[in-house]
Structure 1
Amino acid sequence: MDSGALATDWLPAYRAALRESFVPDVIWPGVGPADGGPVAGIDRRTDPEAWFHAVYSDTSLTTQWDDGCHTGPDRGNIPTCSNSQPAMVFSMLAALDLQPGAEVLEVGTGTGWNAALLSERVGSENVTTIEFDPENAASAHARLDAAGYHPVAVVGDGSQGWPARAPYDRVLITASLRQVPADIVRQTRPGGIIVSPYATEYGGEAVVRLTVEEDGSASGPFVCSSAFMRLRQQRAYRTHVKTYLGGKPWPADGSRTTTSLSPADVADWLPMFAIGLQTEGMFPYPETLGGGRYTLWLRDTQVTSWASIDFVPGAKEFEVHQSGPRELWSELTAARAWWDGQGRPDFERFGLTVDPDGTSWAWLDSAEHPVPAVG
Structure 2
Amino acid sequence: MIVDAGDVALRLKRLADELEEKGRLRDPAWRRAFLAVRRHVFVPRFWRDEEPGAFPARWRMIDNATVDHPEWLDAVYSDRTLATELTGIPAKGAPGMHPQVTSSTTMPSLVMAMLEALDVHDGMDVLEIGTGTGYNAALLCERLGEAHVTTIDVGPELTALASVRLDAHDYHPHVVTGDGAEGVSDRAPFDRIVATCGLDAVPQAWIDQTRDGGKLLVNVLGPWNAFAMVLLTVHGDTASGPFLAQSGGFMPRRTDPERAHDYTVAVQRVASGPVDEWYSMLDPQTLYTDPTFGLIAQTKLAGVGSRQIYVDDSENLGTEMATGDGTSWAVVHHNRHGERGFHASQAGRRRLWDEIEALHREWLGHGRPAHDRYGLTVGGEAPPVLWLDGPDGPQSF
Same-fold call, TM > 0.5? Answer: yes
Tell me which residue corresponds to 1:277: 299
Pairwise mapping of residues 317-336 of structure 1 onto structure 2 (< 5 A)? 318-325=341-348, 327-336=351-360
Does the 8 Å contact 2:277/2:346 carry over to 1? Answer: no
Tell me which residue corresponds to 2:370: 346
Asked if 1:139 corresponds to 2:158, the answer is no
Amino acid at match of 2:326: V
Offset at residue 319 of structure 1 (A): 3.5
Does the 8 Å contact 1:30/1:59 carry over to 2? Answer: no
Counterpart among 131, 152, 158 of residue 109 in structure 1: 131
Tell me which residue corresponds to 2:45: 25
Amino acid at match of 1:320: H
Offset at residue 323 of structure 1 (A): 4.3
Offset at residue 39 of structure 1 (A): 3.8
Asked if 1:11 corresponds to 2:11, the answer is no
Tell me which residue corresponds to 1:176: 198
Pairwise mapping of residues 35-50 of structure 1 onto structure 2 (< 5 A)? 37=55, 38-44=57-63, 45-50=66-71
Gap runs ≥5 in structure 1 = 247-252
Q: 1:156 to 1:190 in 2, by over 3 A?
A: same
Q: 1:20 to 1:296 in 2, by over 3 A?
A: farther
Asked if 1:226 corresponds to 2:245, the answer is no
TM-score by length of 1: 0.82
Deviations 1:93-116 (A, max 9, x none): 011111122111111111101000
Does the 8 Å contact 2:346/2:353 carry over to 1? Answer: no
Amino acid at match of 1:226: G
Does the 8 Å contact 1:161/1:184 carry over to 2? Answer: yes
Report the secondary structure of 1:5's partner residue. Answer: coil
Deviating more after overlay: 335-344 vs 320-329: 320-329
Alpha-carbon separation, structure 2, partners of 1:120 and 1:358: 39
Amino acid at match of 1:61: L
Alpha-carbon separation, structure 2, partners of 1:54 and 1:245: 50
Aligned residues: 357
Deviations 1:53-103 (A, max 9, x none): 3323322222223xx443679994543211112222111101111112211
Gap runs ≥5 in structure 2 = 1-18
Does the 8 Å contact 1:198/1:208 carry over to 2? Answer: yes
Counterpart among 67, 73, 81 of residue 52 in structure 1: 73
Q: 1:132 to 1:261 in 2, by over 3 A?
A: same
Amino acid at match of 1:119: C
Report the secondary structure of 1:210's partner residue. Answer: strand
Paired-residue identity, %: 33
Does the 8 Å contact 2:192/2:216 carry over to 1? Answer: yes
Does the 8 Å contact 1:89/1:114 carry over to 2? Answer: yes
RMSD: 3.4
Asked if 1:81 corresponds to 2:130, the answer is no
Alpha-carbon separation, structure 2, partners of 1:96 and 1:36: 38
Offset at residue 331 of structure 1 (A): 3.1
Counterpart among 328, 333, 340 of residue 309 in structure 1: 333
Report the secondary structure of 1:335's partner residue. Answer: helix
TM-score by length of 2: 0.78
